[in-house]
Amino acid sequence: MFVDECVIKVQAGDGGRGAVSFRREKYEPWGGPNGGDGGRGGDVVLLGDDDTNNLIDYKYKPHWNAKIGEHGQGADCNGKEGESCILRLPLGTVVIDEETGKAVAELIEDGQRIVLCKGGNGGWGNTHFKTATNRAPKRANAGQEGEIGKFRLVLKSIADIGLVGFPNAGKSSLTTRITKARPKTAAYPFTTLHPQIGVIEYPKSYDRLLLADVPGLIEGASENRGLGHRFLRHIERCTLLMFLIDMAGTDNRDPREDYKTLVNELKLYDKTLLKKPRVVVANKMDVEGSAANLKKFKTRHKVDIVQISCATGDGLEELTEALRKRVIKNGGTPRLIKKTA
């Protein structure tokens, strides 16, 4: 199950209270106070994790608490700090304060740490309250309360390539062919119900690219029709957009109109998406009539086109290499393949 949005409640740990204690030692009748301070409460910390790809852990466990600090003790023993609560989140997660509606954090790098809620400071023991006129203070501070909050987690995948296309254009088949992802494929639309993040590996150069397949993009998606509107945010950070066009014209569709509609939906959702570099991929070139449709397409749309067939595998090697070159050309940096022992 893929979860890209959820609400969580978090609470940092309270600080421990200070101790009221006095020395009782031989030959020191006026031993004085020796109460230790309370320990600081644990923080709630966000941690960017490249090995986490969605928010499912937080959908079914929305409450997270850090540990409280230990209370101070006698003999000037301070309490132990509370253990922090670490929330491992996928890269691209935006954290929004539910009360104000403002984004308070964003995780974009592996290992990035952000303190979301701070733990309370520990209270002072009675040692701190000793004065010349009050040598035996019976006063200590309670620890401060830890911060608490309600936040919405919204995942905007950080992928190198965003794959868009109409249902039945062959997006799932292409994802299966060139990545290790295995989305559902069938002869009916909307078989993919959530974004697929696949990895394209290049063994010779030890590079890998992330491909985000956005499902259900249809005309009217920007008006929340179909599934595409909810998932379009997953291509906002992509370096390159890949338009997959069914050049066979399945179900009497016109490939030229399909491309025009896709571009328009992206424009209605966010105009800045049109500034991203793009590559058009003509699929199903093994089907009769595709060549004629491609010729018509080129006369109307002056764009670079890569011809492929997911059914036969023709053109897939050329496509993956073209994607790598385009990503690098436009400032993207392929990740290194993680070696396993």
Q: Say yes or no: 283 and 308 in one domain.
A: yes
Classify residue 106 by burial, with Cβ atoms within 10 Å: 0-12, 13-18, 19+.
middle
More confident residue, 140 or 225: 140
Tens-place pLDDT, residues 62-120? 999 999 999 999 989 999 999 999 999 998 899 999 999 999 999 988 899 999 999 99
Q: Say yes or no: 183 and 149 in one domain.
A: no
What is the rounded CA–CA span in Å between residue 216 and residue 109? Answer: 29
Q: Say yes or no: 177 and 310 in one domain.
A: yes
How many residues does this entry show for the chain?
A: 341
Q: Say yes or no: 174 and 256 in one domain.
A: yes
Q: Say yes or no: 140 and 166 in one domain.
A: no
Confirm if 57 and 63 have CB atoms less than 8 A apart: no
CATH number at residue 179: 3.40.50.300
Confirm if 238 and 279 have CB atoms less than 8 A apart: no
CA angle 325, 330, 332 (to 5 degrees): 80
194 found inside a domain: yes
* Boundary-marking domain end, from 155, 177, 197: 155
Taking Cα atoms as reference points, which of 263, 200, 276 lies closest to residue 235?
276
148 found inside a domain: yes
* Pairing mode, strands 93-97 and 103-107: antiparallel
Of the candidate ranges 115-119, 166-170, 256-260, 308-312, the one whose mean pLDDT is the lowest: 166-170
Taking Cα atoms as reference points, which of 322, 316, 251, 258 lies closest to residue 285?
316
Average pLDDT, the chain: 86
In whole angstroms, what separates CA 93 from the centre of its chain?
Answer: 3
Query: Is the confidence at residue 226, as pLDDT, over 60?
Result: no
65 found inside a domain: yes
* Rg of the chain taking only CA atoms, in angstroms: 29
Q: What DSSP string describes 305-328?
A: EEE--TTT-TTHHHHHHHHHHHHH
Confirm if 239 and 333 have CB atoms less than 8 A apart: no
Q: Say yes or no: 93 and 203 in one domain.
A: no
Classify residue 276 by burial, with Cβ atoms within 10 Å: 0-12, 13-18, 19+.
middle
Q: Say yes or no: 181 and 214 in one domain.
A: yes
How far is CA 238 from each of CA 172, 213, 255, 319, 333, rounded to the nearest angstrom?
18, 11, 24, 17, 12
**Domain containing 55: what range?**
5-155
* Boundary-marking domain end, from 155, 186, 205: 155
Confidence (pLDDT) at 271: 87
CATH number at residue 47: 2.70.210.12
Tens-place pLDDT, residues 246-270? 999 888 889 999 999 889 888 888 8
Confidence (pLDDT) at 341: 40
* Boundary-marking domain end, from 117, 135, 155: 155
341 found inside a domain: no
Residue ranges with strand state E in the chain:
5-11, 44-49, 63-65, 85-90, 93-97, 103-107, 113-117, 148-155, 161-164, 196-202, 207-213, 240-246, 278-283, 305-307, 335-336
Q: Say yes or no: 151 and 166 in one domain.
A: no
Enter the pTM of the model.
Answer: 0.73
Q: Say yes or no: 39 and 122 in one domain.
A: yes
Q: Say yes or no: 67 and 213 in one domain.
A: no
- Residue indicated by tokens 């070139």: 285
Taking Cα atoms as reference points, which of 125, 172, 157, 173 lies closest to residue 5?
157
pLDDT band at 238 (very low <50, low <70, confident <90, very high): confident
Question: Total domain count for the chain?
Answer: 2
Q: Say yes or no: 146 and 199 in one domain.
A: no
Query: Is the confidence at residue 339, as pLDDT, over 60?
Result: no
Q: What DSSP string describes 204-225?
A: TTTEEEEEEE-----TTGGGT-
133 found inside a domain: yes
Instruction: Report residue 255 as tokens.
Output: 């490939």
Ramachandran assignment for 230, one of left (phi > 0), alpha (psi -120 to 50 degrees), beta (any other): alpha
Q: Say yes or no: 91 and 18 in one domain.
A: yes
What is the rounded CA–CA span in Å between residue 84 and residue 290? Answer: 59
Give, for 293, the enclosing helix (H) or strand (E).
Answer: helix 290-300
- Taking every pair of Cα atoms in the chain, the longest distance, rounded to a whole number of angstroms, is 106
Query: Is the confidence at residue 185, as pLDDT, over 60?
Result: no
- Enumerate the β-bridge partners of residue 6: 153
Query: Is the confidence at residue 46, as pLDDT, over 50?
Result: yes
313 found inside a domain: yes
**Mean pLDDT calculated for residue range 128-154:** 92
